[in-house]
Amino acid sequence: MVYIDNLVAQEVLDSRGNPTVKATAVLSDGTVASAIVPSGASTGKKEALELRDGDERFFGKGVLKACENIEVAIADELVGLSPYNQAQIDNILKELDGTPNYSKLGANAVLGVSMAVARAAAKSLNLPLYRYLGGSNAIVLPTPMLNIINGGAHANNDVDIQEYMIMPIAFDDFKEALRAGAEIYQTLKKVLSEEGHSTALGDEGGFAPNFKNNIEPIEYILRATEQAGYKPGEEIKIALDAASSEFYKDGKYVLEGEGKEFTKEELVDFYASLVEKYPIASIEDGMAEDDWEGWKLLTQRLGDKIQLVGDDLFVTNKDILAEGIEKGVANAILIKPNQIGTVSQTMETVRLAQRNSYRTIMSHRSGESEDAFIADFAVALNTGQIKTGAPARGERTAKYNRLLEIERDLVFGEYIAKELFK
């Protein structure tokens, strides 16, 4: 019987140069596999806790305690167990911590181990990770949401909306969809630079110049799309992540780019006018995580026209999602494993969403690494969509490139963007 022989942890760097956890699982059959935990900037209040040392190293952001928790407390419990029962492993992690948000061991320690064990198990069985986690039903290549203009907490410009993404929908496979995305990205770079804009990049690889307001980036993206030879609306849709909790102050939405404070009703009107005018297929965190009333208004107004995604709102938590389903709030959920803490809990949340016809979007964090776990995870769970930044910068392309590999390997792979966004 193969068992977990050892767990090793190391402090490594993420794409912003901050420390993060790399966990390695060593199995008794000699298999060694690692995973690196990502880290967000515009985090939801109810996310699982990212344990940081808080001392002088790395301005308090060190993760040596989380690493020690892996090598001592967690290893004590898991060494000797079978790596092939992910639910059992994850349950033990949950019980060992004992808090609802992993504030004892740190969700960064817990998720690192959860992912490393899954990857080691897959490797030792000679299965690709997506097949190990998803079984024979893992077939859907996700529609990418490519973030090509960055604002908000991910950039130094005065754009309030955090992410302007393109979704290549009218394509037969992932490879061609990604090509369209990359061609539009390159064309956008040319268009911006011709008009004297900076083409420096934000945290997720999108361009991050200053714009007149929050609408101008959409106009640039439409121009770049056409210049690259694609039809906006028909072939390419736009998706926004407002990350509006970041600009929600004292019950008002303060948009610096518009030079205006919006009430929830006015903000809903603003989004409705954008949807009227532009080919927008998806808005994420249109309303703040604490503004459930605003979320209800938004869902009533636009819920049957476009995808409304809860990120900070649901924080990949199945109990909060259940509340949202009951109250008729949003119609899609962003899935970030480090918001909830383990591979199994992430799967539970995805299943709950799918049973209730809420769309699911696997997602990276703004602080990422070369680890492409979420690419496999998206296919394993047939999430249908993935958000993993611009088609540029190694930590983002690692995921897209892994999906290219998976698509090549899959005999019955399906790219269902046309069906999802007709």
CB of 60 to ligand PGA, least distance (A): 18
Q: Is 204 a catalytic residue?
A: yes
CB of 246 to ligand PGA, least distance (A): 9
**Which one is catalytic: 336, 368, 395, 399?**
336
Please name the helix (run of DSSP H) or strand (run of DSSP E) that holds residue 145, with its range, or none. strand 143-150
Structure tokens at 321: 């999602």
Of the pair 152, 181, the CB lying nearest Zn ion is at 152
Q: What distances in angstroms separate CA 349 from CA 142, 336, 337, 339, one per listed residue? A: 18, 10, 10, 11
Of the pair 262, 314, the CB lying nearest ligand PGA is at 314
Structure tokens at 67: 């690493």
CB of 311 to Zn ion, least distance (A): 4
Of the pair 318, 365, the CB lying nearest ligand PGA is at 365
**Which one is catalytic: 204, 235, 289, 368?**
204
Of positions 10, 20, 42, 282, contacts ligand PGA by CB under 6 A: 42
Cβ-Cβ contacts under 8 Å for 200 (sequence gap 6 or more): 207, 208, 209
Amino acid identity of residue 191, one-letter, is V
Of the pair 27, 36, the CB lying nearest ligand PGA is at 36
Per-position b or e across 20-59, b if 16+ CB within 10 A of its CB: bbbbbbbbbeebbbbbbbbbbbbbbebbbbbbbbeeeebe
Of positions 317, 360, 366, 382, contacts ligand PGA by CB under 6 A: 366
Residue nearest ligand PGA by beta-carbon distance = 40
Measured CA to CA, the distance from residue 205 to residue 389 in angstroms comes to 6
Structure tokens at 244: 């509006």
Cβ-Cβ contacts under 8 Å for 217 (sequence gap 6 or more): 149, 151, 159, 161, 164, 211
Of positions 97, 311, 368, 371, contacts Zn ion by CB under 5 A: 311
Given Zn ion, ligand PGA, none, residue 34, with its beta carbon under 5 to 8 Å by kind, binds none
Amino acid identity of residue 70, one-letter, is I
Can residue 41 be called a binding residue for ligand PGA (CB under 6 A)? yes
What proportions of the chain, in percent to the nearest 5, are helix, strand and coil? 45, 20, 35
Of positions 241, 289, 291, 368, contacts Zn ion by CB under 5 A: 241
Please name the helix (run of DSSP H) or strand (run of DSSP E) that holds residue 340, with its range, or none. helix 337-340
Of positions 90, 183, 311, 371, contacts ligand PGA by CB under 6 A: 311
Of the pair 191, 283, the CB lying nearest ligand PGA is at 283
Q: Is 414 a catalytic residue?
A: no
Given Zn ion, ligand PGA, none, residue 40, with its beta carbon under 5 to 8 Å by kind, binds ligand PGA
Q: What is the DSSP string of 367-410?
A: B--S--HHHHHHHHTT-EEEE---S-SHHHHHHHHHHHHHHHH-
Cβ-Cβ contacts under 8 Å for 358 (sequence gap 6 or more): 321, 325, 330, 331, 332, 333
How many residues touch ligand PGA under the rule CB under 6 A: the total is: 11
Neighbours of 296 (CB within 10 A): 18
Given ligand PGA, Zn ion, none, residue 365, with its beta carbon under 5 to 8 Å by kind, binds ligand PGA
Of the pair 153, 222, the CB lying nearest ligand PGA is at 153
Measured CA to CA, the distance from residue 305 to residue 282 in angstroms comes to 9
Burial class (CB in 10 A: 0-12, 13-18, 19+), 141: buried
Residues 185-224 that bind ligand PGA (CB under 6 A): none
Of positions 9, 14, 40, 340, contacts ligand PGA by CB under 6 A: 40
- Judged by CB under 6 A, the stretch of 36-44, 85-93, 286-294, 413-421 that binds ligand PGA is 36-44
Binding mask 221-260 for ligand PGA (x = CB under 6 A): --------------------x-x-----------------
- Judged by CB under 5 A, the stretch of 23-31, 43-51, 238-246, 414-422 that binds Zn ion is 238-246
Catalytic residues: 204, 336
> Applying CB under 6 A, which residues contact ligand PGA?
40-43, 162, 241, 243, 311, 363, 365-366
> Applying CB under 5 A, which residues contact Zn ion?
241, 243, 284, 311
